Chains A and B, each alone.
Chain A
Amino acid sequence: MTEKKGEKTSGNGWEPRIVAFLCNWCSYAGADLAGVSRIQYPPNVRVIRVPCSGRINPLFVVKALQTGADGVLVSGCHPGDCHYISGNLYARRKFALLKSLLEYVGIEPERVQFSWVSAAEGVRFAEILGKVIEAVRAVGPASKMVKELEEVT
């Protein structure tokens, strides 16, 4: 994330920064539907499109938290609706362990959330996103895992 530090330290003007991993077939289309239906949702989200929720390596989420995301939303097709039949069902097991592990090590559970959103659920996508943002706003800026050292490439 390039807009790193300034945004973080701007005191009362702080806005949560959310990374959303959305599956191509359902959730991304759901977010798109929200857009074309002109449903307003907060601009705090940076969407990353993935082919399937099964593509999401739990390390993506950990890495997002490390590089300055205040919250992460992961979303895919409802169980039974996966474009690849069962990608989301394998993913669900990984997500359950990840969510539990992050809370166990002391990361606020509000920061990492998972939800199913179908391509027809534009309104629901906007609602869930709003709730995630409010939950993250309530726990404040992320600090625990955030890397302050400059990344050398």
Chain B
Amino acid sequence: MSQVEEALKKEVAKLFEEETIDLFVGHEPAGVPLKTSACFLSSADEAKRLVWNASCATNLAAYLPQLFKRPGGVKGEWIAPRVGVVAKGCDSRSIVGLIKEKQIPRDRLFVIGVGCEGMIDRHKAAGALGTMGLAEAKIDGSSLQVIGTDGTQKRVELAEVLADSCRECQHRSAVLFDVALSETSVQAPETSRYADVAEFESKSLDERWEFLVSEFSRCIRCYACREACPNCYCQECFADETAPKWLGVTTDLPDVFVFHLGRALHQAGRCVDCGACVAACPQGIDLRLLNQKINKDVEELFGVQSSLSLEEAEALLSFRMEDDQSFMTEP
């Protein structure tokens, strides 16, 4: 058990004993190699269920809005338990975003910040075994031992199987917390965090289209990306609306494109690139390609990164008179 995990269990038990929180949201093993699921604890002795390791990729902020009720609407009083949550850099940014969008109350929340060394992409780890299924995996320092269903063992470097969003991550420690358990030892990468987008941009118009067609033609419209995303808390998603009906319930390519373009546009100025959608996609579609493009544009055009602090205005809820309009026809 890592030091951080041990400290986390102690801290959570303490919070329950001191009656600081009524509920704690953390990670527990999911029974599948390299996967954890969210768990909801309500007493000190349950704290032993918690884990903290490189497979805690789930963005726990996604579970928070449903824990708080506000019958009087946006201006009403919260009916809310006091909730504790463990947050790595991206989770904490999502929490900042949700507080700013008035979906969760800051004063009912106790955030335990942890430094993150990057999360494993399960598809990449399993890929080391070829087409064989992954039976077991052991994280061992900076390397990962994967064991296939027929007993074959392989050792891969942790750095090689990190999720793409973790590879380019610049905010590994929590940006908002009540107590910080650890700082990350990993430095932010030297290369641009938009390297993937820049590479895609350098292709021709038709190459880009062809590539996205090959990606999105695999989409089965299961909406796992939406469910995993902390930003997707709308009571009725545009994809489910019938009046107006934005898109048909088909896997016809134009419908799939409207869904993914709509999803990306709704994330504009809000996406923190946590990679939860990519991790949730059963078809292995590179959903990050669209989200990161918008993140890149938002940063270049408006000079902000989403949800880094409670004070800064979100990009699309503000404007400047001198905003770029070179994209316009005869501005």
Enumerate chain A interface residues (CB-CB to B < 8 A).
Answer: 58-59, 62-63, 66, 79-80, 86, 89-90, 92-108, 113-116, 124, 128, 131-132, 144-149, 151-153
Partner of A93, one of B290, B293, B302: B302
In the assembly, what is the distance between CA of A107 and CA of B258, in Å? 13
Q: Given A59-B238, A106-B212, A147-B248, check contact A100 B319 (CB 8 Å).
A: no
Tell me if B265 is interfacial: C-beta within 8 Å of chain A. yes
Beta-carbon contact of B262 and A105 below 8 Å: no
Q: For residue A79, which residues in chain B have a CB less than 8 angstroms away from its CB?
A: 321, 325
Q: For residue A99, which residues in chain B have a CB less than 8 angstroms away from its CB?
A: 327
In the assembly, what is the distance between CA of A116 and CA of B301, in Å? 19
Partner of B329, one of A100, A102, A105, A128: A128
In the assembly, what is the distance between CA of A145 and CA of B250, in Å? 14
A-contact 0/1 string along B185-229, CB 8 Å cutoff: 000000000000000110001111110100000000000000000
Given contacts A128-B330, A131-B329, 12 further A-B contacts (CB under 8 A): A62-B261, A63-B258, A96-B327, A100-B293, A103-B205, A105-B257, A105-B290, A106-B207, A106-B208, A113-B328, A146-B254, A152-B248
Interface size class on chain B is: 35 or more
Tell me if B252 is interfacial: C-beta within 8 Å of chain A. yes
Q: For residue B200, which residues in chain A have a CB less than 8 angstroms away from its CB?
A: 104
Beta-carbon contact of B254 and A147 below 8 Å: yes
Tell me if B310 is interfacial: C-beta within 8 Å of chain A. no
Beta-carbon contact of B212 and A93 below 8 Å: no
Partner of A66, one of B257, B265, B268, B325: B257
Tell me if B75 is interfacial: C-beta within 8 Å of chain A. no
Q: For residue A128, which residues in chain B have a CB less than 8 angstroms away from its CB?
A: 329-330
B268 CB to closest chain A CB, in angstroms?
5
Beta-carbon contact of A89 and B319 below 8 Å: yes
In the assembly, what is the distance between CA of A105 and CA of B290, in Å? 8
Tell me if B311 is interfacial: C-beta within 8 Å of chain A. no
Q: For residue B330, which residues in chain A have a CB less than 8 angstroms away from its CB?
A: 115, 124, 128
Beta-carbon contact of B327 and A114 below 8 Å: yes
User: Can you name the residue of chain B whose Cβ is closest to the Cβ of A103?
Assistant: B205
In the assembly, what is the distance between CA of A55 and CA of B306, in Å? 23
Q: Given A101-B293, A152-B248, check contact A92 B209 (CB 8 Å).
A: no
Tell me if B255 is interfacial: C-beta within 8 Å of chain A. yes
Beta-carbon contact of B254 and A145 below 8 Å: yes
Tell me if B298 is interfacial: C-beta within 8 Å of chain A. yes
Beta-carbon contact of B323 and A89 below 8 Å: yes
User: Can you name the residue of chain A whose Cβ is closest to the Cβ of B252?
Assistant: A149
Q: Given A93-B316, A131-B329, A153-B245, check contact A101 B261 (CB 8 Å).
A: yes
The residue in B250, B255, B319 that gathers the most chain A C-beta atoms within 10 A of its C-beta is B319
User: Can you name the residue of chain B whose Cβ is closest to the Cβ of A114?
Assistant: B328
Q: Given A63-B246, A146-B254, check contact A58 B265 (CB 8 Å).
A: yes
Beta-carbon contact of A80 and B329 below 8 Å: no
Partner of B327, one of A62, A100, A131: A100
Beta-carbon contact of B255 and A116 below 8 Å: no
Beta-carbon contact of B331 and A147 below 8 Å: no
A-contact 0/1 string along B302-321, CB 8 Å cutoff: 10000000000001110111
Beta-carbon contact of B205 and A108 below 8 Å: yes
Q: For residue B147, which residues in chain A have a CB less than 8 angstroms away from its CB?
A: none
Partner of B208, one of A95, A104, A148: A104
User: Can you name the residue of chain B whose Cβ is closest to the Cβ of A91?
Assistant: B319
Beta-carbon contact of A98 and B209 below 8 Å: no
For the complex of A and B, the 6 pairs showing the least CB-CB separation, nearest first, are: A106-B209, A147-B254, A89-B319, A106-B208, A115-B329, A113-B329
- Which residues of B from 252 to 301 have beta carbons under 8 Å from A? 252, 254-255, 257-258, 261-262, 264-265, 268, 290, 293-294, 297-298, 301
User: Can you name the residue of chain A whose Cβ is closest to the Cβ of B211?
Assistant: A106
